[in-house]
């Protein structure tokens, strides 16, 4: 069973330009956050790196892990704290070789404990299950079940992340089922009272 409290894992919106650095600063100032995932699409590495650097500095100032989505090459270029791999984004072993033993490597495993076990055996630091709820952040091809979290937390010590449509109103069953982290995006960045209030609401649940 989980030895440590469930923690908050923020995922960026696709648009991280404009005022987004200020939104990230507000979110990280509002309460404990374990990690921030930089998730942008269809940008070349130079553009992505330019957007990432100020966000990475904000994360470093708040002692929040900076994780790059999908791209091992970008994670290496930025000297990021880690990378999050989808099922089609590369091999955990190759990522480890390129990023080093201290990098945090996560893998999307949908609703499959089999995929999660393969990732863990390959050396992943965490696995992610989802989507648990409908989400507008990305198209949902796989729906995950609470039972997957519960069984995973009983059989292994490798941390698991719950993702997909999570809000302060629906997060508690995932926390109770054994999620080590809840990954959230829209519920924070689109919160009507701003990201700081969203982070406070999530941390009130996690406390």
Whether 158 contacts 189, CB under 8 Å? no
Residues forming beta bridges with residue 84, ordered by sequence position: 69, 106
d(CA 126, CA 156): 11
Q: Give me the sign of the Cα torsion angle 84, 21, 63, 13.
A: negative
Total residues found in the chain within this entry: 207
What is the C-alpha separation between 178 and 40, in angstroms, rounded?
A: 29
pTM (predicted TM-score)? 0.96
Q: What is the pLDDT along the chain (207 residues), one digit of tens a residue?
A: 456 799 999 999 999 999 999 999 999 999 999 999 999 999 999 999 999 999 999 999 999 999 999 999 999 999 999 999 999 988 999 999 999 999 999 999 999 999 999 999 999 999 999 999 987 766 667 789 999 999 999 989 999 999 999 999 999 999 999 999 999 999 999 999 999 999 999 999 998
Longest CA–CA span in the chain (Å) reads: 44
Q: What is the CATH number of domain 7-206?
A: 3.20.20.70
């Amino acid at each position: 069973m989980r030895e440590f409290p469930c923690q908050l894992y923020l995922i960026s919106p696709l648009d991280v330009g404009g005022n987004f650095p200020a939104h990230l600063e507000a979110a990280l100032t509002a309460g404990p956050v374990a990690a921030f995932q930089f998730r942008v699409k269809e940008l070349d590495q130079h553009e992505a790196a330019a957007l990432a650097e100020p966000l990475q500095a904000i994360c470093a100032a708040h002692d929040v892990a900076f994780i790059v989505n999908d791209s091992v090459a970008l994670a290496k270029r930025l000297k990021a704290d880690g990378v999050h791999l989808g099922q089609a984004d590369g091999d955990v072993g190759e990522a480890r070789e390129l990023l080093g033993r201290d990098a945090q490597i996560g893998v999307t495993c949908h609703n499959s404990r089999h995929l999660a076990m393969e990732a863990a055996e390959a050396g992943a630091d965490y696995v992610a299950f989802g989507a648990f709820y409908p989400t507008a952040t990305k198209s949902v091809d796989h729906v995950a079940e609470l039972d997957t979290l519960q069984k995973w937390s009983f059989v292994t010590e490798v941390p698991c992340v719950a993702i997909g449509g999570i809000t302060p109103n629906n997060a508690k069953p995932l926390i109770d089922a054994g999620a080590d982290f809840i990954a959230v995006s829209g519920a924070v960045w689109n919160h009507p009272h701003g990201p700081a209030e969203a982070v406070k609401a999530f941390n009130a649940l996690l406390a």
